[in-house]
C-alpha cells in the first residue's frame, strides 16, 4: 500500500530542505512530533510520528536517502519488518521561479497492512496533508 501527497510551495528547494531537516525546530510540524539524529544515509533516527489528534508512535528508522535540497527518506519497522514496515519519503521538485513541489509519501508493507489500511488511508494521509500545509506556511513565512 502506498500514500502519495504533494503541495506546491512558493519557496526554493533549499529553503524547504532547511525547514524539513531542522530537527531542532519542528514546532511547526503537526505530524512529526519529535525527530532526532543525523540527516545522512545509514544514520538511525529517533522519531515520534502521528496525525493530529492521534497518539504518536515511536520509531527508530534508518535514513535510506539524504540528498540536500532534493530528497530524504527513511525505512522504519514496527516490531519485526515482516509485521509492519514503511519507507517514508520526501522529494523536492524545483518548479523554477523560486518554487518547489513538495512530494510526501510512504510505501507500507507487512502482515498488519490489511488491518491498518483504513486508518492509513484516512488518518495517516490526513497527517501527511496537514504536514504539507504546515511546511508550505513555514517555508513561505520568511520569503514573502
Tens digit of pLDDT at every position of the chain (144 positions): 999 999 999 999 999 999 999 999 999 999 999 999 999 999 999 999 999 898 998 999 999 999 999 999 999 998 777 888 999 999 999 999 999 999 999 999 999 898 889 988 899 999 999 999 999 999 999 665
- Which CATH number covers residue 57? 3.30.530.20
Q: Which of 104, 105, 60 lies closest to 81 in space, CA to CA? A: 60
* Amino acid 129: pLDDT: 97
Q: Are 89 and 72 in contact (CB under 8 A)?
A: yes
Q: Tell me the whole-structure pTM to 2 decimals.
A: 0.93
* Amino acid 116: pLDDT: 85
Cell, residue 110:
507487512
**How many domains is the chain built from?**
1
* Amino acid 144: pLDDT: 55
Domain extent, residue 111, equals 2-141
* Amino acid 97: pLDDT: 95
Q: Which of 114, 108, 135 lies closest to 3 in space, CA to CA? A: 108
Sequence-separated (6 or more) residues with CB below 8 Å from residue 24: none
* Amino acid 22: pLDDT: 97
* Amino acid 143: pLDDT: 60
Cell, residue 143:
520569503
Residues 133 and 117: their CA atoms lie apart, in Å, by 23
Q: Are 48 and 68 in contact (CB under 8 A)?
A: no
* Amino acid 71: pLDDT: 98
Cell, residue 11:
519557496
Amino acid at each position: 500500500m502506498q500514500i502519495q501527497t504533494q503541495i506546491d510551495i512558493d519557496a526554493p528547494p533549499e529553503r524547504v530542505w532547511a525547514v524539513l531537516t531542522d530537527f531542532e525546530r519542528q514546532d511547526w510540524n503537526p505530524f512529526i512530533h519529535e525527530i532526532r539524529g543525523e540527516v545522512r544515509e545509514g544514520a538511525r533516527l529517533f522519531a515520534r510520528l502521528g496525525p493530529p489528534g492521534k497518539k504518536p508512535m515511536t520509531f527508530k528508522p534508518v535514513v535510506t536517502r539524504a540528498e540536500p535540497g532534493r530528497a530524504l527518506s527513511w525505512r522504519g519497522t514496527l516490531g519485526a519488518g515482516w509485521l509492519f514496515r514503511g519507507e517514508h519519503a520526501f522529494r523536492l521538485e524545483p518548479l523554477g521561479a523560486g518554487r518547489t513541489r513538495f512530494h510526501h509519501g510512504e510505501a507500507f508493507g507487512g502482515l498488519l497492512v490489511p488491518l491498518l489500511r483504513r486508518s492509513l488511508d484516512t488518518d495517516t494521509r490526513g497527517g501527511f496533508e496537514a504536514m504539507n500545509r504546515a511546511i508550505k506556511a513555514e517555508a513561505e513565512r520568511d520569503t514573502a
